[in-house]
């Protein structure tokens, strides 16, 4: 038996070793497949096909293959705005590309600054004597802003256009929290810091309404000006005024109504649009699918047009998404990750640093950590320039204060100079079900904060003092950076959000300009000649898994939707915002320099609440 047992154990060991070997070989082969990049050889003469089946962002978030495979959910595609702009500009000067085919059937939108930048690139493409043909089933604000720059705008016979403009309803939870017995303790500074109002009120305050009206009004004017300039025949007033009358004039045919209002040029199916593109680009010799045309896909084109890097380096650090204290990102601004990237670059021979900010802010501690890391570069004597994207508000403005010069766009949302914190307690809820708390304390702060028994006045005083001191610190940074008095900084602060145009008039930003303008200014300040420098994006790396995972799971991707699908997505966005609001209440993450007042489309990603959190079961009750 002893000999047989030894043989058996040997066989088990061999089996385990072979299993491990096969697993290693499997995962090695899987990694090799996943790491495949689009081949530059896939570039073909014809059209550049921009089938935007996702959203446009400042920084693409990586895909976690394990989470995708476990959830069986198709990851939503993200496109970096600067990649789209570069692809379009490269195509303008390449003889192989005759036309851009802009398919917006499943486009999910993006920030207004990004739409403006891509639209300007499309204008440059047309200026090179090449047409842009756009197609969609349903056009909304973002897709219309891009399509307006096309030479021909096609709309599906089953589709239409709905221009909603910025704004909408916001949910308020004070009545719900009172009914549930949840006490939301709010600590804030700033009359306009309305981020906490949903937890304390049942309606919008006069200060918040004033701020929203000014902000949304400015964004709406900028949107209309951009579309009218690109497409003078567009009758926006007709499509947004008497909507019922506009539709009735076309017998409620939404596609015909869009053409009548000058929002579209031609009504046709995707096949008919493809046949029109083929008249310019040529037919696809390898694909006999109806509507096929010779084209180069976006990924292959981008891989084939890698920019050359000559001359001195200018570093670009991207702060995109909600600022937190940890490793989050790319696509989210984890301060620990960003500061590490900045510190690693201290040994590089960077001639200047451009800080690209597209963030509503976040934690005060994370914002300050990033600011200090930027200052370590400033002590080297190199120029520091900030380029603001869709937003650089609250903590996003905090990290901009070390700049020698701040660039923004008229559509940029900035300011929101204020601090707040929210801490829920559940003593009323527990009392209602017969649960009380008691104990022995040595000081008024013993056991505080007590989420189950409530806050003592002393604990509340400490928390409010934390917010007050944070606000004073914020004002000091703004006053020093903008060279104004503390009183003037306070006037500009109070948590109020400004559009880029107003912010420039108030001196919160220095001049209008995109990332390229900020880079050019940084190069000039560094004494670098034109053509003798290049940008280095710190921490940028290709997602080796994303494109293949999307191809593998493509069958589950979202198909083009009509107007019902468009409004259903907006309703889903509202539900997502409500979930994020409730989770934001239940997850305590310290004092916040964060702009929750900014438009919902630019809101930070929802936070996660662990099962160990005291309010987790309440959240489940509310959501389910």
Tokens of 158: 């089953």
Instruction: With H, G, I as helix, E, B as strand and everything else as coil, classify residue 74.
Output: coil
Q: CA-to-CA distance for 200 and 97, rounded, in angstroms?
A: 56
In angstroms, what CA-CA distances link 238 with 135, 249, 257, 263? Answer: 22, 11, 10, 10
In 3-state terms the chain splits into helix, strand, coil percentages (rounded to 5) of 45, 20, 35
Q: Which of 143, 324, 394, 416 is catalytic?
A: 394
DSSP per-residue codes, 276-316? HHHHHH---TT--STT---EEEHHHHHHHTPPP--SEEEEE
Of residues 316, 306, 345, the one with CA closest to residue 520? 316
Catalytic residue among 130, 188, 193, 351: 193
Beta carbons of 411 and 390 less than 8 angstroms apart: yes
Give catalytic status of residue 416 as yes or no: no
Give all strands of the β-sheet with 266-267 in edge-to-edge order: 266-267, 152-161, 132-139, 97-103, 46-51, 295-297
Whole-number Å distance between alpha carbons of 407 and 388: 6
Q: What are the residues facing 295 on neighbouring strands?
A: 47
Determine whether 181 is exposed, middle or buried from the number of CB atoms within 10 Å of its CB (0-12, 13-18, 19+).
middle
Name the β-bridge partners of 46: 97
DSSP β-bridge partners for residue 362: 323, 593
- What distance separates the 2 farthest-apart alpha carbons in the chain? 94
d(CA 580, CA 561): 26
384-393/97-103 β-pairing:
unpaired
Give the DSSP letter string of 16-46.
HHHHHHHHHHHHHHHHHHHT----GGG--SE
Q: Report the interhelical angle of 112-127 vs 81-92 (nearest 10°).
A: 10
Active site residue 394: yes
Under 8 Å between Cβ of 334 and 327: yes
CA-CA-CA-CA torsion for 325, 329, 332, 336, nearest 10 degrees?
20
Q: Which residues are catalytic?
A: 193, 394
């Amino acid at each position: 038996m002893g000999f047989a047992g030894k043989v058996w154990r040997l066989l088990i060991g061999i089996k385990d070793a072979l299993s491990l070997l096969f697993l290693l070989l499997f995962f090695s082969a899987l990694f090799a497949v996943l790491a495949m990049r689009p081949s530059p050889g896939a570039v073909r003469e014809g059209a550049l096909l921009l089938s935007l089946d996702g959203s446009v962002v400042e920084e693409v978030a990586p895909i976690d293959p394990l989470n995708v495979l476990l959830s069986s959910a198709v990851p939503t595609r993200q496109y970096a705005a600067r990649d789209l702009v570069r692809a379009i500009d490269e195509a303008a000067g390449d003889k192989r590309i005759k036309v851009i085919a802009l398919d917006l059937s499943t486009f999910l939108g993006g920030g207004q600054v990004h739409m403006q930048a891509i639209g300007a690139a499309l204008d440059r493409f047309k200026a090179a004597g090449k047409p842009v043909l756009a197609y969609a089933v349903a056009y909304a604000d973002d897709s219309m802003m891009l399509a307006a720059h096309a030479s021909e705008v096609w709309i599906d016979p089953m589709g239409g256009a709905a221009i909603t403009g910025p704004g909408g309803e916001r949910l308020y939870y004070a009545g719900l929290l009172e009914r549930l017995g949840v006490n939301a303790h709010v600590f804030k500074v700033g009359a306009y810091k309305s981020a906490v109002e949903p937890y304390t009120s049942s309606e919008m305050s006069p200060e918040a309404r004033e701020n929203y009206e000014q902000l949304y009004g400015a964004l709406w004017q900028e949107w209309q000006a951009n579309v009218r300039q690109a497409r003078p025949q567009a009758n926006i007033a007709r499509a947004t005024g008497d909507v019922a009358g506009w539709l009735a004039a076309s017998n409620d045919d939404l596609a015909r109504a869009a053409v009548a209002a000058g929002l579209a040029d031609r009504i046709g199916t995707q096949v008919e649009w493809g046949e029109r593109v083929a008249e310019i680009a040529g037919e696809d010799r390898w694909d006999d699918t109806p509507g096929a045309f010779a084209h180069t896909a976006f990924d292959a084109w981008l891989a084939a047009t890698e920019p050359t890097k000559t001359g001195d380096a200018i570093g670009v650090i991207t702060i995109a998404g909600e600022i937190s204290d940890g490793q989050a990102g790319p696509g989210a601004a984890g301060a620990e990750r960003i500061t590490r990237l900045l510190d690693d670059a201290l040994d590089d021979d960077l001639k200047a640093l451009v800080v690209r900010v597209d963030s509503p802010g976040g934690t005060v501690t994370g914002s300050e950590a990033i600011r200090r890391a930027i200052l370590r570069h400033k002590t080297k004597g190199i120029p520091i320039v900030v380029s603001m994207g869709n937003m650089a508000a609250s903590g996003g403005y905090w990290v901009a204060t070390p700049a020698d010069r701040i660039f923004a766009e008229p559509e940029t949302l900035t300011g929101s100079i204020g601090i707040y914190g929210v801490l829920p307690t559940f003593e009323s809820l527990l009392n209602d079900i017969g649960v009380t708390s008691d104990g022995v304390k040595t000081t008024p702060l013993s056991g505080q904060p007590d989420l189950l028994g409530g806050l003592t006045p002393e604990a509340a005083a400490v928390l409010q003092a934390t917010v007050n001191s944070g606000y004073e610190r914020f004002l000091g940074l703004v006053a020093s950076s903008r060279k104004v008095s503390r009183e003037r900084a306070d006037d500009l602060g109070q948590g109020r959000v400004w559009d880029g145009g107003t912010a420039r008039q108030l001196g919160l930003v220095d001049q209008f300009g995109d990332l390229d303008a900020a880079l050019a200014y940084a190069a000039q300040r560094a004494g670098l000649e034109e053509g003798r420098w290049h940008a280095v994006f710190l921490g940028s790396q290709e997602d080796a898994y994303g494109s293949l995972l999307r191809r593998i799971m493509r069958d589950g991707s979202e198909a083009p939707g009509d107007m019902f699908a468009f409004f259903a997505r907006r309703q889903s966005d509202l539900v997502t915002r409500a979930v994020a609001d409730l989770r934001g209440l239940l997850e305590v993450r310290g004092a916040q320099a964060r702009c929750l007042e900014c438009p919902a489309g630019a809101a930070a990603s929802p936070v996660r609440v662990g099962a160990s959190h005291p309010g987790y079961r309440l959240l489940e009750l509310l959501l389910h």
